[in-house]
A and B are shown apart, each in its own frame.
Chain A
């Protein structure tokens, strides 16, 4: 009986123990293994940025970071039996060859035992990684998994795309503006590791996958952007300008096809770039537009029926009816000049008089309707507003200066947007860069819908002003160098003196612009090219410098976009 009880007691104990283990293994399996617990944050992959054709412009790419530990350089190389040990120099040679490093420098690092985990390189080369990770060839190199933001076109469109710093914080451009979409959400793992530090997958307590950032699709075309930046840079070098910008916009939708600003910066070295290079002049820089504004004045007057293209004006400057008229930069002098000719020859006096007669309040209202004095709302940080004082605050001199583009400052994007309204029969569309935002699961989070911002002028007035602008890019006009074989160009030059604030204008320094649209009768693109001269140069006029860049760039873009020629007869004369 006693023996039976003992056996029964042992069996009960065994059953209790087994039951307890079963329960513990299912309910709280890791209670005894706290020392091996770990928690890790899983960083989300940052979203990519694509151009209009779906080509990637920016991507986050997994890379490896290699760090050298001289202490562990030789003693951990795994060799087969009979194989001689690898000398440190041979290991360093393998490392330097694989990573493309200087052998002597790497050897010096390997000899510095005091400094452990010295930075060697970052690389995405899989072959190099296989070599370094081969324990029979190399030891003493710590390999860290990292993500690198790769700007696939280098400095191309750096101002638009922006950059992120070494801490993965957005610094500028679209990276900054859309950081919350691009960055995604981090995940988390909580689990156990074995004695070798390897994760025990069956002991994972929490596993939250990271959600990758959304992808942004732009309206920019990387081929047009490349041409824009190439031609702008070539033009700046050719004409000796200090800076410049170019914007190409779809005439019908307001979509920005290219946005170039010079000087540019390397997105991977944003921290060391100068403030001058970091500035996106297309949206963050204001300047007195000069004569390109005359088109706005004339268009407003046409819209009101105040004047017609054939209306004539006296070109005398000392007219007692007007207060301190501006000096005339007209390329042709006649005692009387039509408004159309005043645009073609860029007459300050005629447009100044027209502006005074038209009235400050009306002109101010039209300028506002064309988008001056307000942000365009383009999806980039740091957009400037420009200066357009209320008409009640205009002094008498401003009455005749504002119509010719003085006493007001604009941003390049405002100017292009105003010309887009003229190109689109008076309908100003919201300038935009972002076409859509797509989540990592493929859902469209945001889709741009064309948005009419204002209708400053009627279609009739828009067509009239386009007809007036046509001869500007002809032998008679100020921008004969903007003429494109096979296409009619409607545009206007601007050679604005650079303001020094209250000290007046800087002598000999100009901001030369050409803003136009092609083909003139049914424009496909609107384009602005400006050069900012910070030294006295012979070709400082818009017609001599910016117009040339405009022609070169527009010629390439029209072919690329396959825009039919509206003057095919001109092509027949071409000699091959």
Chain B
């Protein structure tokens, strides 16, 4: 009787040890599985973000290149030779103003004396005053 009980106890003990081992192993595997799944999800997310970044980088580069091209086109259009050519195509010619058309200002923000433009303006003003 006593021997049998002892045997059963040993057997039960062995069985409980196996169950614990299986449980531990299962837990590790489950953790590994979760890790793998998490890794896959993270990787997929990272890839999506990288693709997005890649696309946005390409768009930025494209727009930057577009800006450089447009800047260049605009600079060409407003160069003195292009402006002159454009005016000539409409029968116009650009000249620097003659002195009668220039008003030179002094440091006090008043026209400098003795200028033809100022003299003409004064003369015109006095004529108008006479007419009145």
Contact = CB atoms under 8 A, between A and B. Distances in A.
Interface in B39-98: 39, 43, 46-47, 50-51, 53-54, 65-66, 68-69, 71-73, 75-76, 79-81, 96-98
A574 B36 contact: no
A168 to B, nearest CB: 17
Main secondary structure of the interface of B (DSSP, over half): helix
Interface size class of A (residues with CB under 8 A): 35 or more
A486 B99 contact: yes
B29 A15 contact: yes
Contacts of A22: 35-36, 39
Interface in A294-342: none
Contacts of B50: 201-202
* Size bin of chain B's contact surface: 35 or more
Contacts of B75: 55-56, 59, 152
Given A14-B29, A62-B69, A559 B102 contact: yes
A154 B81 CA distance: 9
13 contacts: A8-B25, A14-B29, A15-B29, A18-B33, A59-B71, A62-B68, A62-B69, A124-B73, A153-B81, A156-B81, A201-B54, A223-B80, A576-B116
Nearest to A486: B99
Interface string A545-576: 00000000001100110101100110110101
Contacts of B43: 25
Contacts, number: 98
Given A62-B65, A564-B104, A572-B119, A152 B79 contact: yes
Interface in A501-559: 555-556, 559
B96 A559 contact: yes
Contacts of A576: 98, 100, 116, 120
Among A124, A556, A564, A571, max chain B CB count under 10 A is at A571
B16 interface: no
Interface centre among A11, A154, A201, A569 (most CB of B within 10 A): A201
B28 interface: yes
Interface in A17-41: 18-19, 21-22, 25
A394 interface: no
A63 B112 CA distance: 52
Interface in A62-113: 62-63
Given A560-B96, A576-B100, A15 B32 contact: yes
Contacts of A486: 99
A392 to B, nearest CB: 51
B51 A571 contact: no
A18 B36 contact: yes
A199 B54 CA distance: 9
Given A18-B35, A61-B69, 6 more contacts: A11-B29, A14-B29, A62-B69, A555-B96, A574-B98, A574-B116
